[in-house]
Amino acid sequence: MVKIISDSTCDLSQEVLERYDIDIIPLHIVKGDEELEDGPQIDIHALYEWADKNKTTPKTSAPSIETAMNVMRPYIDEGREIICFSISSEMSTSINVIRMAAEELDAEDKV
């Protein structure tokens, strides 16, 4: 059975994630000197208020290789193949992190 994994830029609802058994590799949101792991715990209204107050937009940073490996490892260990969705490589290095994690797991042919 194929496992679907996406980075957090997909912004899917919890209902969709559960219904289709989709796992998420979280990016990080950078607000000035503060870095937060993306996910449902992020207060989007506070994020917009921060952006308005600071006249800038938050940035994102790619997940760590370790984070990507931790999300993918259980499915690789089960012998499953993974389809992974990510933001464009023109906008983020997330897909490269996912590729490197697959290499570290010796699973390039599975991801």
Domains delineated in the chain: 1-27+62-111 (3.40.50.10170), 29-61 (no CATH)
Task: Please check whether residue 10 is in contact with residue 36, taking contact to mean a CB–CB distance below 8 angstroms.
Answer: no
Query: In this predicted model, what pLDDT tens digit does every residue of 31-52 receive, in sequence order?
Result: 999 999 998 888 889 999 999 9
Can you list the residues of the chain whose pLDDT is less than 70?
none
The per-residue pLDDT for 39 is 87
The per-residue pLDDT for 40 is 83
